Structure 1
Amino acid sequence: MTQELSYIKIKTANEARLADEARTETLKRNIIVLVLHHLQDNGYVQAAHQLELEAGIAATKYDVCDNIDLLSIVQEFEAYYKIKFGKAPKLIKKAVGPELRTGRLRGTHRIPGSGSTGGRSSPSKGPSSLSRTSTGSGSDRRAGTALPRVESPPNKKASNTSLHPLHDRSSSAPLGKKKERSTAAPSSGRVVGGQRIVDMGSELKNAIQAATHEALDNYSHHDDKLLKPVSNLGYTGQMQELSQVISREIYLNNPDVRWSDIIGLDKACKLVKEAVVYPIRYPQLFRGILSPWKGLLLYGPPGTGKTMLAKAIATECHTTFFNISASSIVSKWRGDSEKLVRVLFELARFHAPSTIFLDELDAIMTTRSSGGTGDHEGSRRMKTELLMQMDGLNKSDDLVFVLGASNLPWELDPAMLRRLEKRILVDLPTQEARRAMFQHHLPPTVQSEDDGGVIDLTANIDYDAVASNTDGYSGSDIRLVCKEAAMKPVRQIFDVLENLEDSDAAHHNITVRAITTEDVMDAIATTKPSAAGLRDRYTQWQKEFGSV
């Protein structure tokens, strides 16, 4: 029972922490949107455009709700404060000197919970921290941390009132609703002497869980996550330009690839979760010798799902995702490649928790020849800087994870292999995985008019037979086979459409026969596997250098 309670305690504590971080991110996004629309409404077009660039939020993506604007929020806060304390609040004060303004620009005054250490933030310090930047006297600061919620005036909507900058309506309203439902439930207490005794501990637990789940359900990492302004790093001149180059490689869109969409890569998915997901969810379990993995290499034949796994990380893991290729960090200008690598890892630490995905790693980190006669001087310096930065990650507690993908692992530098602690072979799919892929791409109903398709396309396939005849095919090869098989019945329509007279168009209905096993077999005969001959070489390299 003690062990079970410990599991519940750890999971509940971390869910509450994630929900609190989600509320903080949502609050920061709401503040940015309010400021953005306030600038646009008052004619500060250039300032609004610069804010869009730094925050990564487009003004067309979000709109302010009715009867909500920054001016009315400040006015209502001032009115409440004057009624409560008998004096108007002091929102700003004169700066002592340029040093204070410089400190603010470098991020000394930030919204709590936006630290770069992922799960190490302290959202509980938020009210006192923010009140120091918005009030003048010490009594105001003490009062600012305990401002209660009050009802709006009768002529205004209740949802328009926010009495403290860190009071989130979404975090308080569900608590009340959940308590009302839980109190009314007969299972929430026991009857003693004709009276019901309510278990307040259970009620509080249910309320916290309800608020936690609602905060997590309403939070979207790709929509609500804000990029911290790079100006906080203090870059100037050329370094600032290079940081803008790397910042463009931050993947902000949602690839919409889930763990469940990946077939046959269970081992790789498990290790990625151990390295990226679990250290953020359960940081108390990853200490000392159990510190999370810092690097992972995915190698194998082309088309087996290495890049798709990276897309799943960008979708499922709430980290800042850097999609890096050779063109991102290789420059023709002397010394810029090393600086780009340095800026990349500094930005990754700044935006931590973050993931650096190095696609086609063999194009960047080939083996350095002895004597320095093979590589160009600039290439050697860039490789050395990359190795030094990765070695620094292994000696730090920053939640920065490096994910590499390569089709030619035997060409990688041994020093890079040492820094990539886990090296996983993403092999060709097994027969069971191939069968699941055929079922996914060619289900009994491929498409229908009800789903928005132009034609009804069905399939009648022996999945076991086609799976057994595709040994050596990769996932992309199987998708190509399915596409070719689906085109066979559709090609019969083209001849009819090309020879159809306009007068006869109304008398013909488009009918398409079902995709059969013979169609798939014909597609297999004309579509050869792309990398079946390299299987033995990958297996041999795994025996010598693999680390799973």
Structure 2
Amino acid sequence: MSYSSLKIAHHVRESEERKATERKRQLLYLILQHLKDEGYFETAQYFTNEAHLSNQYQICDNIDLPTIVQEYESYYFLRFQKYPKICKKVVIEDTKKNSLKKNNQENEMRDTTKSRAITSQSDVQNENKVHLTKSLGKTTTNGNQKSPKHNSSLSDLDLVVLPLTSKGFINIHNNSNQNCLQDSIGDKLLKPLSGCSTYSSEWREFAEIISKEICVTDLNVHWNDIMGLEEAKRLLKEAVVYPTKYPELFSGVLAPWKGLLLYGPPGTGKTLLAKAVATECKTTFFNISASSIVSKWRGDSEKLVRVMFELARYHAPSTIFLDEIDALASHRDASGEHEGSRRLKAELLIQLDGLAHSDDRVFLLATSNLPWELDAAILRRLEKRILVDLPNIEAREAMIKHYLPPIVIERPALLCELDYELLATAGYSGSDIKLVCKETAMNAMRKAFSILENSESGENLPDMKLKTITTVDMETALAGTKPSASHLAPRYKKWQHEFGSS
């Protein structure tokens, strides 16, 4: 064989090896992407570490592992007129079963003998430790010994022992890695989407869009954090909390409500109540807005609405939160309404009607600042309609005490001497009161800003004495900040009288 022939053969062999390596790498990334698509994120992380995969490559948009398997099955059927058998059940013969059973018994006997030997050896070691402790002058009480501060065996292996309590492991080191681990543990773990009946190749994109709107983090808003609104909190507990905790009490005529509308002036705490539901009710919380289910493509909006309710049933018990529902379900007889908007409302009504006549543990929570803009069919399906009105005098006084306590800031000292009962004026919403308190505190801090601008450094900032906030300062801020929703209160009262259901 000539030199040129050997060179060509060498290049062909190298080309085949490169193709095989490339094929292996593509297969690994296909498996990784398939694990992520199915929701096995922890398995995907272990697989990434073991296979030494990086973020340098990603799967193309039109390629996935199920599609490749499906195309292979189609090719196999066209060629051999039958579908391939990719997996088969492993059958263990009786002889193999007997041999395995015998080996297991022998291993159990060996392990028992070994464990007894280890137990006796550990007892001897414990006695030696007791004698060693006494010889070093250390005393013990009731046989309970404190472990040395530095364990040589653990320090050599670079291991960290975390004490276990009823709430889990205690974090004794404040580093970023463990903080991230705690955050990930605190998040909700959702079921893989592959188990949902609608999660097919056709609906995969819609299911992934809706799944991104599931709130998996703890919003840390509790019922006690909301001042006032006792009636709204009571009805939310009856609609969501109690049916989940005591399902045997809610059947027949006592079946839980399926839909609830919170309406009222802006800034009165409607969204805050929804956050408390997400925190306290322990249900899967879907935070849906108009951008989540409205698409520019024909027919996609209706499919998103359907997939949203299907996923809510799959992750039940669940709560669907529709903020500003009037943007999605206004009157259908409005002039100039687009066809796509009517189809979306029709699908929403169909899903809500099916929800009302089923035993699915799915609850719809909606809010609106313009309840008179809602369609009558939507109002019929929202069984409870609660007015979240402006806070009463007790709630306003509690809010001012919360935002402006006697000691606002310790260093530099910012103090308050206020007549809270006098300052709890009517007409202000919760957000208005927060804005007034912020403006009052900012007026007292402006002196610190002028001093800092004239000084070279802020070293004397903790020792700075700020002006004490008085009732006159708060009244000045109230005069400069007008209420934003007091003029709408009569209209909400009138609508409540006509359509309310609390």
Shared fold per TM-score greater than 0.5: yes
CA displacement 1:248-277 (0-9 Å, x = unmatched) = 111112111110000111111111111111
Shift of 1:216: 11
Secondary structure of the equivalent of 1:529?
A: coil
Counterpart residue number, 2:190? 227
Q: Does 1:349 align with 2:304?
A: no
Paired residue total? 365
Measured in 2, the distance between the counterparts of 1:316 and 1:403 equals: 14
Q: Does 1:43 align with 2:51?
A: yes
Shift of 1:512: 1.0
Q: 1:478 aligns with which of 422, 427, 433?
A: 433
Instruction: Name which one, 1 or 2, has greater alpha-carbon Rg.
Output: 2
Secondary structure of the equivalent of 2:51?
A: coil
Measured in 1, the distance between the counterparts of 2:189 and 2:116 equals: 35
* Runs of 4 or more consecutive aligned structure 1 residues displaced over 3 Å after TM superposition: 32-38, 44-47, 96-101, 150-157, 213-222, 504-509
Secondary structure of the equivalent of 2:364?
A: strand
Change (3 A) 1:506 1:323: closer
Change (3 A) 1:33 1:534: closer
* One-letter amino acid matched to 1:39: F
Q: 1:534 aligns with which of 480, 485, 488?
A: 488
CA displacement 1:327-352 (0-9 Å, x = unmatched) = 11111110011001001000100111
Change (3 A) 1:339 1:508: closer
Q: Could you state the TM-score of these two structures normalised by the residue count of structure 1?
A: 0.61
Shift of 1:231: 1.7
Measured in 2, the distance between the counterparts of 1:40 and 1:264 equals: 50
Is the 1:222–1:254 contact (alpha carbons within 8 Å) kept by the matching residues of 2? no
Counterpart residue number, 1:269? 233
Is the 1:342–1:389 contact (alpha carbons within 8 Å) kept by the matching residues of 2? yes
Measured in 2, the distance between the counterparts of 1:278 and 1:347 equals: 22
Secondary structure of the equivalent of 2:282?
A: coil
Q: 2:359 aligns with which of 389, 393, 397?
A: 397
Shift of 1:153: 5.3
Shift of 1:374: 3.3
CA displacement 1:50-104 (0-9 Å, x = unmatched) = 9xxxxxxxxxxxxxxxxxxxxxxxxxxxxxxxxxxxxxxxxxxxxx956989xxx
Secondary structure of the equivalent of 1:263?
A: coil
Counterpart residue number, 1:259? 223
Q: Does 1:495 align with 2:458?
A: no
Change (3 A) 1:513 1:378: same
Shift of 1:506: 6.5
Secondary structure of the equivalent of 2:385?
A: strand
Is the 1:263–1:437 contact (alpha carbons within 8 Å) kept by the matching residues of 2? yes
Measured in 1, the distance between the counterparts of 2:319 and 2:460 equals: 56
Shift of 1:46: 7.8
Measured in 2, the distance between the counterparts of 1:539 and 1:156 equals: 78
Q: 1:381 aligns with which of 343, 346, 351?
A: 343
Shift of 1:39: 2.5
Secondary structure of the equivalent of 1:314?
A: helix
Q: Does 1:456 align with 2:420?
A: no
CA displacement 1:477-531 (0-9 Å, x = unmatched) = 00000000001110012222222357x9769942212211111111100000011
Q: Could you state the TM-score of these two structures normalised by the residue count of structure 2?
A: 0.66
* One-letter amino acid matched to 1:461: L
Is the 2:187–2:217 contact (alpha carbons within 8 Å) kept by the matching residues of 1? no
Counterpart residue number, 2:15? none
Is the 1:324–1:359 contact (alpha carbons within 8 Å) kept by the matching residues of 2? yes
Alignment of 1:72-151 (within 5 A): none
Change (3 A) 1:277 1:217: farther
* One-letter amino acid matched to 2:374: L
Is the 2:312–2:318 contact (alpha carbons within 8 Å) kept by the matching residues of 1? yes
Is the 1:367–1:412 contact (alpha carbons within 8 Å) kept by the matching residues of 2? yes
Measured in 2, the distance between the counterparts of 1:281 and 1:46 equals: 45
Uncovered stretches (5+) of structure 1, i.e. residues with no partner: 1-31, 51-95, 102-135, 158-212, 450-454
Is the 2:285–2:319 contact (alpha carbons within 8 Å) kept by the matching residues of 1? yes
Measured in 1, the distance between the counterparts of 2:117 and 2:188 equals: 35
Measured in 2, the distance between the counterparts of 1:221 and 1:41 equals: 18
Measured in 2, the distance between the counterparts of 1:217 and 1:322 equals: 30
Measured in 1, the distance between the counterparts of 2:46 and 2:389 equals: 54
Q: Does 1:524 align with 2:488?
A: no
Shift of 1:228: 1.0
* One-letter amino acid matched to 2:363: F
Change (3 A) 1:507 1:515: closer
* One-letter amino acid matched to 1:526: G
Change (3 A) 1:507 1:277: closer
Please give the root-mean-square deviation of Cα atoms over the aligned residues, in Å: 3.6
Change (3 A) 1:323 1:359: same
Is the 1:368–1:374 contact (alpha carbons within 8 Å) kept by the matching residues of 2? no
Measured in 1, the distance between the counterparts of 2:88 and 2:230 equals: 52
Shift of 1:215: 7.5
Secondary structure of the equivalent of 1:338?
A: helix
Counterpart residue number, 1:360? 324
Shift of 1:222: 7.7
Is the 2:400–2:433 contact (alpha carbons within 8 Å) kept by the matching residues of 1? yes
Measured in 1, the distance between the counterparts of 2:377 and 2:426 equals: 35
Counterpart residue number, 1:63? none
* One-letter amino acid matched to 1:358: L
Is the 2:188–2:216 contact (alpha carbons within 8 Å) kept by the matching residues of 1? no
Is the 1:325–1:360 contact (alpha carbons within 8 Å) kept by the matching residues of 2? yes
Alignment of 1:206-225 (within 5 A): 214=166, 223=186, 225=188
Measured in 2, the distance between the counterparts of 1:391 and 1:547 equals: 18
Uncovered stretches (5+) of structure 2, i.e. residues with no partner: 1-39, 59-83, 90-96, 120-164, 171-181
Is the 2:188–2:217 contact (alpha carbons within 8 Å) kept by the matching residues of 1? no
Q: Does 1:298 align with 2:262?
A: yes
Secondary structure of the equivalent of 1:472?
A: coil
Alignment of 1:413-492 (within 5 A): 413-449=375-411, 455-467=412-424, 470-492=425-447
Is the 2:263–2:385 contact (alpha carbons within 8 Å) kept by the matching residues of 1? yes
Is the 2:322–2:367 contact (alpha carbons within 8 Å) kept by the matching residues of 1? yes
Change (3 A) 1:443 1:389: same
CA displacement 1:6-51 (0-9 Å, x = unmatched) = xxxxxxxxxxxxxxxxxxxxxxxxxx7874564344226489x99x
Counterpart residue number, 1:510? 464
Secondary structure of the equivalent of 1:352?
A: coil
Secondary structure of the equivalent of 1:42?
A: helix
Change (3 A) 1:390 1:155: farther
* One-letter amino acid matched to 1:458: L
Measured in 2, the distance between the counterparts of 1:438 and 1:270 equals: 24
